[in-house]
């Protein structure tokens, strides 16, 4: 097989890699992308998209079931409702299929050459790819490592049998009667809640003192309340010890040091993700690390000239939109444009019920950075649109500098608040002050009015509170 020589080689076609390759192709750079599995990476195939499809299906089923018990104040009655998980998964696979073929089409449109197979570094400029038709050698002036991440396995609870990863959970064909989730972070909560809504009896085992420990307690409270209403059992400060002798239960050590057995049909382990570094010959390149991740600078350059790294392989926050922004930037840098990482915030959303969205600094983070702040918080219980949508739990919060009113952070918890993430990020990127948000007309009746009201509240001028 003839060697390929190109200006840019991207390894991994997840959101980081495929965006980088598309932008590079658009800029006229001779680009090759290598993917071992399917285009779209974790996000499109076994992450963001299938999980959100499942969450939507679970919401629909749960809403229908709530009508069934005759307690709907809306006057709606239904006669019967069931869920066919295999059918739900087939619908989800259809969405994944549409998106992954869309990525292939976009790569083709941008004249990017796609090579299917696993890439291994030979040296800093050469990669060998095991393809179906043999070994393909690719030599490139610039390389981008976008190999992503994979689920962390617990030594005492290896994946296999009833112990499953998020990838397996997103492909279950039969609903587990009893589901135990180890790790109450993003994935554990999003999927745990979805399975609870579909009818599984769910228990969550979390090592920290609260679920979603990456968020402040006030933001998490409405989610914890919803879990309680759903009778999801929460085991905080608890450690998974392994399967019971007969394999029927998960043995945990509880906060007080005692042992408890949690019966389980499936045990979903979601205790974080680790960078995909081994197996690609990256160890031999001896690139500098930051903890387990590849160390990068503000241009996503690694410690070796001509080698860049983007996305999950470079560490937290492991989010698709960060990977995409890095990919776009690196393509432009390789095309000769002057770019560096200048983002003021990376928003994050947890798609629980209710949803949580954060951008910029929380009150505690702002204080820890030495700012004197003013905080405005507006509850959805005082928002008309939220009332009409039976979604009064939660609030919007704005954090601003006390001296200049510059917005440092925006957070919200509530139904559908993920869509506020654009407003939040835009306000922070545009260096908005409280007066800018307060002085912007927000359409009525919408839940976004709570953002304006939070800013008014921080200025001591709340109208609807």
Beta carbon of residue 78, minimum distance to ligand FAD (angstroms, whole number): 30
In sequence order, what DSSP letters do the residues of 21-48 get, joined into one string? Answer: HHHHHHTT--EEEEESS-TTHHHHHHSH
> Of 33, 294, 349, 434, which one interacts with ligand NAD (CB under 6 A)?
349
Q: Which of 150, 158, 110, 133 is nearest to 10 (CA)?
A: 110
Q: Which does 188 bind (CB under 5 to 8 A by kind): ligand FAD, ligand NAD, none?
A: ligand NAD
Q: Which does 323 bind (CB under 5 to 8 A by kind): ligand NAD, ligand FAD, none?
A: ligand FAD
Fill in the per-residue mask, 166 to 195: x = in contact with ligand NAD (CB under 6 A), - = not in contact. ----------------xxxxxxx-x-----
> Contact, 185 vs 212, CB < 8 A?
yes
Residue 39 engages ligand NAD in binding (rule: CB under 6 A): no
- Which of 56, 442, 444, 464 is catalytic? The answer is 444
> Contact, 361 vs 399, CB < 8 A?
yes
DSSP alpha helices (H): ranges in 165-318? 166-169, 186-198, 217-229, 282-285
Q: Which does 326 bind (CB under 5 to 8 A by kind): ligand NAD, ligand FAD, none?
A: none
> Of 44, 58, 107, 205, which one interacts with ligand NAD (CB under 6 A)?
205
Label residue 230 exposed, middle or buried (CB < 10 Å: 0-12, 13-18, 19+): middle
Which 3 state secondary structure label does DSSP give 211? Answer: coil
Q: Which stretch binds ligand NAD (CB under 6 A): 132-140, 334-342, 343-351, 436-444?
A: 343-351
Beta carbon of residue 149, minimum distance to ligand NAD (angstroms, whole number): 7
> Of 97, 213, 242, 306, which one interacts with ligand NAD (CB under 6 A)?
213
Q: Which does 311 bind (CB under 5 to 8 A by kind): ligand NAD, ligand FAD, none?
A: ligand FAD
Q: Count CB atoms within 10 A of the CB of residue 274.
A: 16
> Of 22, 179, 271, 334, which one interacts with ligand NAD (CB under 6 A)?
271
Beta carbon of residue 322, minimum distance to ligand NAD (angstroms, whole number): 9
Residue 224 engages ligand NAD in binding (rule: CB under 6 A): no
Q: Which letter, b or e, does each residue of 71-82 get, where b requires 16 or more Cβ atoms within 10 Å of its Cβ? A: eeeeeeeeeeee
Q: Which is nearer to ligand FAD, 35 or 453 (CB)?
A: 35
Q: Which of 351, 31, 330 is nearest to 190 (CA)?
A: 351
Which 3 state secondary structure label does DSSP give 79? Answer: coil
Q: How far apart are CA 207 and CA 184, in angstroms?
A: 8
Q: Which does 207 bind (CB under 5 to 8 A by kind): ligand FAD, ligand NAD, none?
A: ligand NAD
Fill in the per-residue mask, 280 to 319: x = in contact with ligand NAD (CB under 6 A), - = not in contact. -------------------------------------xxx
- Which residue carries 């001028």 as its tokens? 461
Cis peptide before 354 (omega within 30 of 0): yes
Quick one: the chain helix, strand, coil %, rounded to 5? 35, 25, 40
Number of residues that bind ligand NAD (CB under 6 A): 27
| Residues 132-171 contacting ligand NAD, CB under 6 A | 154
DSSP alpha helices (H): ranges in 369-443? 384-388, 421-429, 434-438
DSSP strand pairing (233-235 vs 201-205): parallel
Q: Which is nearer to ligand FAD, 318 or 462 (CB)?
A: 318
Residue 411 engages ligand NAD in binding (rule: CB under 6 A): no
Q: Which does 103 bind (CB under 5 to 8 A by kind): ligand NAD, ligand FAD, none?
A: none
Q: How far apart are CA 144 and CA 21, in angstroms?
A: 9
Beta carbon of residue 87, minimum distance to ligand FAD (angstroms, whole number): 21
Q: Which is nearer to ligand NAD, 182 or 309 (CB)?
A: 182
Q: How far apart are the first and last CA of the chain?
A: 71
Q: Which is nearer to ligand NAD, 6 or 358 (CB)?
A: 358
Beta carbon of residue 317, minimum distance to ligand FAD (angstroms, whole number): 8
> Contact, 51 vs 170, CB < 8 A?
yes
Task: Return the residue nearest ligand NAD (CB atom).
Answer: 185
Dihedral over alpha carbons 351, 352, 356, 362 (to 10 degrees): -110
DSSP strand pairing (355-360 vs 348-350): antiparallel
| Known catalytic residue at 464 | no
> Of 240, 243, 268, 420, which one interacts with ligand NAD (CB under 6 A)?
240
Q: Which of 106, 15, 27 is nearest to 331 (CA)?
A: 27
What is the contact surface with ligand FAD in residues (CB under 6 A)? 11-17, 34-37, 41-43, 47-48, 51, 118-119, 146-149, 166, 187, 276, 280, 311-312, 318-321, 323, 351
Q: Which is nearer to ligand NAD, 230 or 239 (CB)?
A: 239
Question: Any idea which residues carry the catalytic annotation?
Answer: 444
Q: Which residues bind ligand NAD (CB under 6 A)?
A: 154, 182-188, 190, 205-208, 213, 239-240, 270-273, 317-319, 348-351
């Amino acid at each position: 097989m003839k060697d390929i020589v190109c200006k840019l080689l991207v390894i991994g076609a997840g959101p980081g890699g495929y965006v980088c390759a598309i932008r590079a192709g658009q800029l006229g750079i001779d680009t090759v992308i290598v993917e071992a599995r399917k285009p779209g990476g974790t996000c499109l195939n076994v992450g963001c998209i299938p999980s959100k499809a499942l969450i939507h299906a679970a919401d629909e089923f749960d809403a229908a079931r709530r009508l069934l018990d005759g307690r709907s104040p809306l006057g709606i009655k239904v006669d019967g409702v069931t869920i066919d998980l295999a059918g739900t998964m087939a619908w989800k696979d259809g969405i994944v299929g549409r998106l992954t073929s869309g990525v292939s089409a976009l790569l083709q449109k941008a004249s990017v050459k796609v090579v299917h197979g696993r890439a291994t570094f030979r040296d800093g400029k050469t990669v060998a790819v095991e393809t179906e038709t043999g070994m393909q050698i690719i030599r490139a002036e610039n390389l981008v490592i976008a190999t992503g991440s994979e689920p962390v396995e617990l030594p005492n609870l290896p994946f296999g049998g009833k112990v499953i990863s998020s990838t397996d959970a997103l492909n279950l064909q039969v609903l587990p009667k009893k589901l135990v989730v180890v790790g109450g972070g993003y994935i554990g909560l999003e999927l745990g809640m979805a399975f609870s809504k579909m009818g599984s009896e769910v228990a969550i085992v979390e090592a920290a003192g609260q679920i979603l420990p990456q968020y402040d307690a006030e933001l998490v409270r409405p989610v914890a309340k919803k879990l309680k209403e759903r009778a999801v059992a929460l085991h905080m400060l608890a450690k998974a010890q392994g399967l019971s002798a007969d394999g029927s239960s998960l043995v945990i050590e509880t906060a007080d040091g005692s042992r408890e057995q949690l019966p389980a049909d499936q045990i979903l382990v979601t205790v974080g993700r680790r960078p995909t570094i081994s197996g690609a010959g990256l160890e031999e390149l001896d690139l500098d690390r930051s903890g387990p991740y590849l160390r990068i600078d503000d241009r996503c350059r690694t410690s070796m000239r001509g080698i860049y790294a983007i996305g999950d392989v470079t560490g937290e926050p492991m989010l698709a939109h960060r990977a995409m922004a890095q990919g776009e930037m690196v393509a432009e840098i390789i095309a000769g444009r002057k770019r560096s990482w200048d983002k003021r915030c990376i928003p994050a959303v947890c798609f629980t019920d209710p949803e949580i969205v954060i951008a910029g600094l929380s009150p505690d983070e702002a204080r820890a950075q030495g700012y004197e702040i003013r905080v405005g918080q507006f509850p959805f219980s005082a928002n008309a649109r939220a009332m009409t949508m039976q979604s009064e739990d939660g609030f919007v919060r704005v954090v601003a500098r006390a001296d200049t009113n510059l917005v440092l952070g925006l957070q919200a918890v509530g139904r559908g608040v993920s869509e506020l993430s654009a407003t939040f990020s835009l306000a922070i990127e545009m260096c908005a002050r409280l007066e800018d948000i307060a002085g912007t007309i927000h359409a009525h009746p919408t839940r976004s009015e709570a953002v304006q009201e939070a800013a008014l509240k921080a200025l001591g001028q709340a109208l609807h509170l």
